[in-house]
Copies of this chain bind each other. A is one copy, B any other.
Amino acid sequence: MTNRLFFDVNAHESVYELIIKEQESVGYYHLPTQDISYLSTYKEDFEKHTKEIKHLVVIGIGGSSLGLKAIYRTLKNVKKFSRKIHFLESTDPIAIDSELEKIDLQKAHFFVISKSGTTIETIAIYKYVLNLLQEKQIEDAYRFTYVTDAGSALEQHATTKPSFCLHVHKNVGGRFSVLSSVGLAPLSLIEVDVKALLQGASEIKNSFFEAGYMRDILLKKATYYAKNSFAYNINALFVYSESFKYFCEWYVQLWGESLGKKQLHSSFNVGLTPVGLIGPKDQHSFLQLIVEGLRDKSVTFLKIDSFNKDIDIPAISLKSLEKLDSINELSFNSLINLQADAVIESLLKKGDIPIDTIVLEQIDEKNIGKFIFYYELLTSLVAKLMGVDAYGQPGVEESKEILKEKLKDRRLL
C-alpha cells in the first residue's frame, strides 16, 4: 500500500503524543497483535457441534455488520468460499423476507451481534428468526453464536441454551470492531486468512508508531483535513474497484460517526462528511460536481494495482465505431486504472481540489488489513485535531429514547 498526497501542510506533530496516551484506554489499537487462539478453539467447537452449515447469517446493524460485510463482499469475488455469509440488518419487512428466502434454514447458523446486547433492530429480527425455526421445527441447539460485551444482557441470555458466545474485545467501539471477534469469528469459519488480515493491520500500525513511512503521511493528511474542516467539509473516497463498494459504507460510518461531534472544549458542532464513490461509474455521476461544483471537497482515490482476475478487450473493429479501436487489446485492469489516472490528472489541473491517492497491490487479506487500519488511525488523528471524542455517539441517544416512549404509548393503547 502506498499513499501519495498532492497537497502540503506542516504536520501538527504533537498530536502523536496524544495518540500514544490514548492507547491506554482505546482498545482497537491493540487488535492487530491480539492472541487469536480463541478463534481456533471456537472453530473447533463449532465444527464439532454443528453439521452441514452452509449459510452464516449475521443479525447485526451498524458496527456489528458493516466491517464484516465489507471484508466478505470484497473477497468473495476473488476467493471461493464454502459457506455464504448473509446479513439481516434492516427492519424493512421486504428486505428481511427476501434475504431469508435465499437461506436454507436447516443449513444455517446465526450470529447475533450486539455490543450492548439490547440493539432493538437486532433483537426484533432475532425473535423473528427464533419463531421461524420453531415453526419449521428446526433444532436450535448450537444454532446461534452471540457476540457481545462481557456482562451484557445478551450474554446472560446466551446461557439459556446450548450455543456459542464470544466477547467483543475490551474498549473497542462498534465502528472500530471489525478486527475484533465481531469480524473475525464469522470470517474464521470461511476460508479467510485472518492472520494475514491482522498482519496487514500490524504493518500500518508499526509504520506509524515506529516512525516509518506512515507516521509522516498520516500526520500530514490528518492535519490538512482538520485544519480545513470548514472549507473542505466533505471528504470523498473514490474507489476504482467494484469490490471495494462496501468499504465505502464502512468508511462512511467510521468517518461520519467518529468526527461529527460537539467539540469537547466548546460544545460547538463540527464534523466532516464522508462520501463514498465508485469508479468509473461515478465519473458519470458525482464527478461533474467535483470538477465544477463548490470547492468543498477533498478526494482520496483508491486504485488496485493488479486485479486478481483480468480480461482483455478483444481486437475487434466495429463498423462505424472504428474510432474506438484505440482500446483494442487493452486489459480491463489497465483501462480502469488509466481512467482513474485521467480523472486524477484533470482534477490536479484545477489546483484547488485537495487530492491524494492510495494504491493497493491487489485484493487480498493483507491489503485489506492495511486499508482498514490506515483509515482507523487517520480517523483517530483527525478527531484529536478537531477536538472531538472519536469513540462515542451521544447524538443518537435521543431518538432511541423517543422510540422507547412511542413503544410505551403503543402498549398503553
Contact = CB atoms under 8 A, between A and B. Distances in A.
Interface of A: 61-63, 66, 77-78, 89-98, 117-118, 120-121, 123-124, 126-128, 130-131, 153-154, 156-157, 160, 174-175, 229-230, 233-234, 240-243, 249, 252-253, 256-257, 259-262, 269-273, 275, 278, 280-281, 283-297, 307-311, 313-314, 316, 318-321, 323-324, 326-328, 330-333, 335-336, 338-339, 341-343, 345-347, 349, 363, 393-396, 398-400, 402-404, 406-408, 410-411
17 contacts: A77-B98, A92-B332, A93-B309, A93-B311, A96-B311, A118-B324, A127-B313, A127-B328, A256-B289, A260-B291, A269-B295, A273-B273, A287-B399, A288-B395, A290-B395, A292-B394, A338-B410
Contacts of A402: 342, 345-346
Given A156-B319, A291-B395, A326 B408 contact: yes
Given A252-B286, A314-B127, A241 B92 contact: yes
A290 B90 contact: no
Contacts of A343: 399
A-side interface mostly:
helix
Contacts of A120: 324, 327
B336 A92 contact: yes
A296 B127 contact: no
Given A91-B332, A91-B339, A253-B286, A260 B320 contact: no
A323 B288 CA distance: 50
Contacts of A403: 338-339, 342
A335 B124 contact: yes
